[in-house]
Structure 1
């Protein structure tokens, strides 16, 4: 299926033309037929001669009071049938419709001069072609017809076939974003929404995101027939399970869950309106039109309004009244509803922009975005943001190339890692100087020092050549060659180890440790560094003491008493009791009910 929006004129000529082409009545309301004026969106479809698939029409209102409805209809549609009446010619509403199409970047279309039975159509055709030629549509093919007499309709059908046949093939595997243009209830079925599916595929049973909730597709229709699946491009009606009519309406979007970022602050580039070579001064409050949505927005320019004409002068930040599912590269338009004018087309550049807190941040931000074209680019996004959640990067529409470093659901700009390695080395050195007795900088503190949201990202930093002097162990990061102890503590521990070499189980008493400057913190650091072994409260031995004790105790008859063990070890009860308890905790010895000991 292909979808075309009919735009351009205020009177009943468009609807008459669509009716003549399709045999269907696009005006759904009795008031529309009574007044001869399209008030809301109308829908019809037909199969063109020689075409493999039908073409659907979205008939949009032409009157200036219904511009919001018109934009809701043309926003998601890739091509237009621009209608001008021969007896009226170009009208103010024609200009506003063309300004909107130009701002949205619509490039495919067909000019139709209708009511040709009432006046010579050539003057209206030539005038319209001149206006169209100054827009994104360019020089369009033109057909003169009469919906009342049927004159020229065969030529129109042929021209439409050529138009839809030349449209780009849709991406049926793309993530779904269906902008809702109608919502109503059907007895026995519940809530139904309609929209133009521009990309992707929807199936019965699919889960789709509606704002912050997930909804299920109960049924699908296209062109009045039940279908499953429905593939872009198509006019589609979705029967939603468990959704009330008051919970969904025009301007909402149904999206593939987890694949779109909803944002209420976006950075955009605003192009000049049609016919203007430079940007216009934007009011502080505007309406952003994208898809079928119309959302009030507050404008913050990102550079001085008197700056020389450049990309920077057209870059602004929009704060939206409500969040929308957008991606870089999306096209939209800004409109001043009070002045009834289109202010310019919008290209979305960033849907998760950084906060602007410091003086000069807005101008710097404009410089960052000067070269951005809105096309999703994972490498460029990472280079700009340095660190992103993998799912968020995918939700921007970017394809992550192989080899991008990542861990724990995060991806990192590889060009940022050398700088992080230098910062980590400096942070560990600073911690070692300030806390010489610590066994290293805790991983959580290291991540905070580098502004990393996840300590496991440190693995990527430690793999950098610039961090080769560091080692991670026990949840801490320390210098690889430092041994973890300051010189004074290392010297005191060496004295204790020398004494223990002569008397392996002669644990130094508290006064001796104090004389050497080994207090609680120093002793704890020595134990963490593996230089001493704490076997009990106040009892410190060499790390190999348990093995040496087992070797001596093995010569005793089993079981043996505490006194026999003390004599075999050549030590006192003060040391023998905690040492045997330590061996029991290790599973290398046991104590029976009579208080005797045995090796396992």
Structure 2
């Protein structure tokens, strides 16, 4: 399906032209027919042999209904700009064209209507000159009469050429539906309509409005019930679920796929009639939404960088195109979303520093640019703001991405932090990853590991610096214990012996972390590897064996053999049987 939105001055024949193209009157309200002008959004559709289904969103042309007009063109990829041959270039035509330009609508056709009432040449020349300075530059300009039908074939051919050249939206894209109408249908319940720009909606899908969830009970496209529809398309959704607050300007999205934000950093570009910066509280138009915002320039206002604070959260992504409007002066500004998840501005000069960060941003989502500004980012957050995670020179650890610049700076800090810890904890010089993550203000200790560079090592969840050994006195005492255990591997020194050597629990723990001793139990140490040696010796016994047999074979006491066998059981080297005997596993 292809979707086209009309635009143009009031009473220039937009609805008449849509009716002539589709055979359907888009004006659905009695008041619209009585007054002869469009008040609400109208819809009509048809099928053309060389193109397929074409739906038209007919928007109001009167200046009082500009907000409704913007809701109609916001999500639509192509426009039909209508001007009358028997009227001069009118203010609403200029305002609608400025809106299309600000929203970046680059595909469309200009129809010069009422060509049966006046020579269309002057209007064609003026319209061609006006659109040549906008995103619609080069659009075909066609003279037509909705009343007589003259020029309709040329208009269909021009529209067919424009629509056929539109890129095909991704059917697997995340859904974002800007609701433009809500009503009730007897026997069905709540129905909303919207233009689906991309992605696919299916019957049974769950969609989200913030924390509120709704389910698609029924789905229509072009007046027909369907099981699924992909963008671009006009859709009507029969919804069930938490429907309080669902209405026009609601945004329904794929759950968990979008970042909803009330603060967004943008670049503004004034329209041809724009003059200076926007006011403090302009109106923001995006999709079918119309939101009051607070405007704060970042850096030099002439650069167009600004922070917008929205009156309510919206799902926005890097690269979204929006429109900012000053209702008092009727000026508009193009808005390119640079960062929908910006940092807080807490200190004096923060706005100027932020402007420097964004100076080269153009609204194109690039992971390298985001990491250069953020330093650290979560993979899911990047996806929600529309930044694809692509290969690059960044580091990755689980869901976290670290920019190369930040990674280098943090890695440079690690040796000093390890050295400082070793000085403060001589018996425990190896620094836990959790401690380093806290010192580096990283959200996860897993992020520390890829930052460790030689000669630092990661051993057992700690960072070790070579040469960071035990204090001299402790090292000498440990050497004595090791020599005694080498002579009698399973005759552990008694508590009194350890106390005489000056080895308390802290010293024994440090020796174990250094790989010099193995603590079987509190106050009970053997050499590292004693568990495997014990299992190998016990395997030579008749299986299963008793505790007494193990004690005799290992040449030790019950004080040692009982906790030793317990450790062997827990390590899976031996198995304790119901009669309290054991057997070696494997």
Sort the TM-score into its range (normalised by shorter chain): 0.7 to 0.9
Select between 537-546 and 407-416 the one with higher mean Cα deviation. Answer: 537-546
1:344-355 aligned at under 5 Å gives the runs 344-355=333-344
1:314-463 residue pairs with structure 2 within 5 A?
314-337=304-327, 339-402=328-391, 405-414=395-404, 416-438=406-428, 440-462=430-452
3-state secondary structure, aligned to 1:240:
strand
Offset at residue 263 of structure 1 (A):
1.5
Cα deviation digits, residues 350-374 of structure 1 (max 9, x gap): 1111222233222122122121121
Indicate the residue corresponding to 2:457 in structure 1.
470
* Whole-angstrom distance in 1 between the partners of 2:567 and 2:242: 62
Q: Check conservation: 1:424, 1:467, Cα contact below 8 A.
A: no
Question: Measured at CA, do residues 514 and 248 of structure 1 come closer, stay the same or move farther in structure 2, by a change above 3 Å?
Answer: same
| Higher deviation after alignment, 395-404 or 219-228 | 395-404
| Whole-angstrom CA distance in 2 between matches of 1:162 and 1:541 | 84
Q: 1:12, 1:38 within 8 Å by CA — same for their partners in 2?
A: no
User: Do the aligned partners of residues 190 and 517 (structure 1) sit closer, same or farther apart at CA in structure 2, a change above 3 Å counting?
Assistant: same
User: Does the CA-based 8 Å contact 1:422-1:467 persist in structure 2?
Assistant: no
Q: CA–CA distance in 1 between the matches of 2:582 and 2:216?
A: 71
The counterpart of 2:294, out of the listed 286, 295, 298, is: 298
Matches of residues 119-130 of structure 1 in structure 2 within 5 Å? 119-130=118-129
- Given the superposition, is the C-alpha separation of residues 191 and 495 from structure 1 closer, same or farther in structure 2, using an over 3 Å criterion? same
- Which whole-Å CA distance do the structure 2 matches of 1:124 and 1:236 have between them? 35
Q: Cα deviation per residue 1:207-254 (whole Å; 9 max; x = unaligned)?
A: 33332244332222111112233222221112223253x431222222
CA distance in 1, matches of 2:575, 2:35: 101
Using the TM superposition, give the Cα deviation of residue 92 of structure 1 relative to its aligned residue in structure 2, in angstroms: 1.8
Secondary structure at the aligned position of 1:419 is classed as helix
Does structure 2 conserve the Cα–Cα contact (< 8 Å) formed by 1:536 and 1:579? Answer: no
Counterpart Cα distance in 2 of 1:549 and 1:67: 84
Mean CA deviation greater in 279-288 or 69-78: 279-288
Equivalent residues of 1:286, 1:298 under 8 A apart: yes
Shift in Å, 1:129:
2.9
- Decide whether the 8 Å contact of 2:284 with 2:322 is kept in 1: yes
Instruction: Please say if 1:507 is aligned against 2:493.
Output: yes
**Residue of structure 1 aligned with 2:560, choices 574, 579, 587:** 579
Query: Is structure 2 residue 22 aligned with structure 1 residue 16?
Result: no
Does the Cα contact within 8 Å between 1:266 and 1:353 map onto a contact in 2?
Answer: yes
What's the counterpart of residue 281 of structure 1? 277
Q: Does 1:68 align with 2:67?
A: yes
Q: Do structure 1's residue 270 and structure 2's residue 268 form an aligned pair?
A: yes
Q: What is the CA–CA distance in structure 2 between the aligned matches of 1:590 and 1:270, rounded to whole Å?
A: 72
Q: Could you tell me which residue of structure 1 aligns to residue 479 of structure 2?
A: 494
The separation in 1 between residues aligned to 2:428 and 2:499, in whole angstroms, is 19
Cα deviation 1:406-437 (Å, max 9, x = unaligned): 33322333554343333333322221111111
The Cα of 1:100 is off from its aligned counterpart by 0.9
Q: 1:80-95 counterparts in 2 under 5 A?
A: 80-95=79-94
- How many residue pairs get aligned? The number is 572
Give the secondary-structure state (helix, strand or coil) at the position aligned to 1:343: strand
Structure 2 runs not aligned, ≥5 long: none
Distance 1:591 1:236 in 2: 68
Partner of 1:51, secondary structure, is coil
Alignment match, 2:105: 106
- Structure 1 stretches lacking a partner, 5+ long: 570-575
Deviation at 1:484, TM superposition (A): 4.7
